[in-house]
């Protein structure tokens, strides 16, 4: 059901956005996002302008019994007290409203994603909505056994559409810059959870065809949004 990457000792851990849909029941947009199948283009598209690499320690991965849903890669562990915790996300264009909860990394080295597709996970060892740099990553399953999730329509978003992320003390607004689909075999995981560069939002879910053999969708849909306002 999930894609896992092995981690060497001393390597820092960052959740990467290889989400595996729980069940193949989602009805996705027929048009769908632009599909990028070249690895070099995928890296360039996700990375945007050149950014300085950061070398940092490994965040804890214990204490969770949730099944792993995403792979892992190096990242900075910021002081928890300095990061505003997102609690809700709304996307007016597609009528999506999701609760958001902090998630970490399982003992298997995978990002924890809530089973309920109506709830998004925020990678708490990465950037937050009010951070001065880096990508805030929110990820949710596209569907479950019981229902299709709000992010099943993520591929319908277009440049200029708004996303609002709420914290306890602020309302943070983003504008979609681009939405693309990537085969899970070529997506650049390092750039999805980049902690450098301008403040931005990466929304991730599954897309493409359902593969009953592997028990997952073949693609990841990633929406990149730039932060425009914090109020």
Rg (CA), the chain: 16
Convert the pLDDT of each residue in 2-53 to its tens digit: 333 322 222 233 333 344 444 444 444 446 788 877 788 878 888 754 443 3
CA 85/CA 174 separation, integer angstroms:
16
- In terms of residue numbers, what domain contains 201? 14-60+69-230
Q: 24: how many CB neighbours lie within 10 A of its CB? A: 15
Measure CA of the first residue to CA of the last residue in the chain; give whole Å: 39
CA 45/CA 180 separation, integer angstroms:
9
Identify which of 68-72, 125-129, 191-195, 211-215 has the greatest average pLDDT: 125-129
Per-residue DSSP letter, 68: P
Q: Give the Å distances, CA to CA, from 124 to 8, 57, 82, 111, 184.
A: 21, 15, 11, 10, 23
How is 24-51 classified by DSSP, letter by letter?
TT----SS-PEEP--HHHHHHHHH-S--
pLDDT of residue 87: 98
227 pLDDT above the threshold of 60: yes
Domain assignment present for residue 4? The answer is no
Domain assignment present for residue 42? The answer is yes
Range list of β-strands (E), the chain: 14-15, 34-35, 72-73, 86-91, 96-103, 119-123, 135-139, 162-167, 171-183, 200-211, 216-230
Could you tell me which residues come within 8 angstroms of residue 213 by beta carbon, excluding any fewer than 6 positions away? none
Convert the pLDDT of each residue in 74-108 to its tens digit: 444 444 447 899 999 999 999 999 999 999 887 77
Domain assignment present for residue 3? The answer is no
pLDDT of residue 110: 66
As for how many domains the chain has, the answer is 1
Residue with tokens 């890669």, as numbered in its chain: 73
The CATH number given to whatever domain includes residue 115 is 2.40.260.10
69 pLDDT above the threshold of 90: no
Domain assignment present for residue 196? The answer is yes
Tell me what the pLDDT averaged over the chain comes to.
Answer: 76
Domain assignment present for residue 1? The answer is no
Please name which of 70, 94, 90 lies closest in space to residue 184, comparing C-alpha atoms.
70
Percent pLDDT > 90 in the chain is 46
Identify which of 79-88, 182-191, 200-209 has the greatest average pLDDT: 200-209
Identify which of 32-41, 87-96, 144-153, 182-191 has the greatest average pLDDT: 87-96
158/74: higher pLDDT: 158
pLDDT of residue 104: 86
Convert the pLDDT of each residue in 57-67 to its tens digit: 344 444 433 33
pLDDT of residue 32: 75
Domain assignment present for residue 170? The answer is yes
């Amino acid at each position: 059901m999930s894609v896992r990457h092995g981690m060497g000792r001393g390597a820092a851990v960052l959740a990467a956005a290889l989400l595996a849909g729980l069940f193949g029941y989602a009805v996705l947009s027929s048009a769908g996002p632009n599909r990028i199948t070249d690895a070099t283009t995928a890296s360039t598209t996700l990375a945007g302008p050149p950014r300085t690499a950061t070398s940092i320690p490994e965040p804890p991965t214990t204490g969770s019994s949730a099944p792993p849903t995403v792979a892992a890669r190096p990242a900075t562990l910021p002081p928890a007290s300095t990061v505003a915790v997102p609690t809700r996300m709304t996307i007016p264009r597609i009528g999506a409203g999701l609760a958001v909860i902090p998630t970490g990394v399982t003992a298997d080295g995978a990002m924890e994603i809530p089973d309920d597709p109506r709830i998004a996970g925020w990678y708490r060892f990465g950037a937050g909505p009010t951070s001065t740099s880096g990508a805030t990553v929110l990820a949710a399953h596209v569907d479950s056994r019981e229902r299709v999730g709000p992010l099943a329509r993520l591929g319908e978003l277009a440049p200029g559409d708004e996303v609002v992320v709420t914290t306890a003390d602020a309302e943070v607004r983003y504008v979609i810059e681009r939405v693309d689909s990537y085969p899970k075999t070529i997506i650049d995981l390092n750039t999805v959870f980049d902690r450098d560069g301008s403040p931005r939002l990466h929304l991730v879910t599954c897309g493409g065809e359902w593969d009953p053999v592997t028990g997952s969708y073949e693609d990841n849909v990633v929406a990149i949004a730039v932060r425009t306002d914090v109020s």
